[in-house]
Amino acid sequence: MDAPPGAVPDDAPAAAPPAVGMRLRDVEPGDLDAYVRMRCDPVVMAELGGPQPRERVSAQLRRDLETVRKGSAWIKMIVPDGGTEVAGTVTVYAHGGVSEIGWMVVPEFQGRGLAGRAVRAVLDLARAEGRWGLIHAFPATTNAASNAICRSGGFALVGEEQTEFAGRLFRTNHWVLDPSARVDG
C-alpha cells in the first residue's frame, strides 16, 4: 500500500532539529542545576567515561568558579537565543603547558549546531585577545559529532592517545589549532 503524498516512511531518518542561535556567558554560582544536567546525564557523558556522581558536581562548580576567578580558564555557558536555560558549556583551560578546549551540550539541544558555534566563538575570542596559544582538543575517537567540530573548525589531527577525564581513561583523537592563524572561509 502506498503512503499518502508527503508522508514520511517509518524507516526514514529523522529531520534534524532547526539550528538555534546562542550567546555565551561566564559560569555563575547559580549554574549548579545546569552542571547536574550535563555531568550526571548518561547521554552527555557517554563519550567522557559515563555520568559523574551527583555529590561531586557542586564541588566541581566551586572549583570551576575559582579557576575562572583566577583567570586560568574560560568556562562559558551556552544559552540559546530567547531563553535563559543553559544548553551546554565550552571551556578553555591550561594544564601542563597545554591549552585545552572542551564542550558538552545537553541532549534536548544536541544536533542544532550550538557546540560548533560556541567553539568558533571562543576561538574567535582567543584570537582577538591573543590568549591561550595553541589550543588542543581531545574528543573520544568514537565521538563523531565532536570530531566533526574539530575538523570543520580548522583543527589539525595529531593522532590518537589515551586521555584522562574525571579520573577515567579513554581513547581520544588529539587535535590542535592555532587560533591566531584561523581564517574562516
Query: For residue 50, what pLDDT is reported?
Result: 82
Residue type, 10: D
The ranges of the chain with pLDDT < 50 are: 1-16, 185
Query: For residue 22, what pLDDT is reported?
Result: 92
Residue type, 142: T
Residue-range domains of the chain with CATH: 22-181 (3.40.630.30)
Residue type, 133: G
Query: For residue 83, what pLDDT is reported?
Result: 85
Query: For residue 49, what pLDDT is reported?
Result: 76
Query: For residue 170, what pLDDT is reported?
Result: 85
Q: Which three cell numbers stand for residue 50?
A: 559515563
40-41-42 Cα angle (round to 5)? 115
Query: For residue 17, what pLDDT is reported?
Result: 54
User: How many residues are listed for the chain in this entry?
Assistant: 185
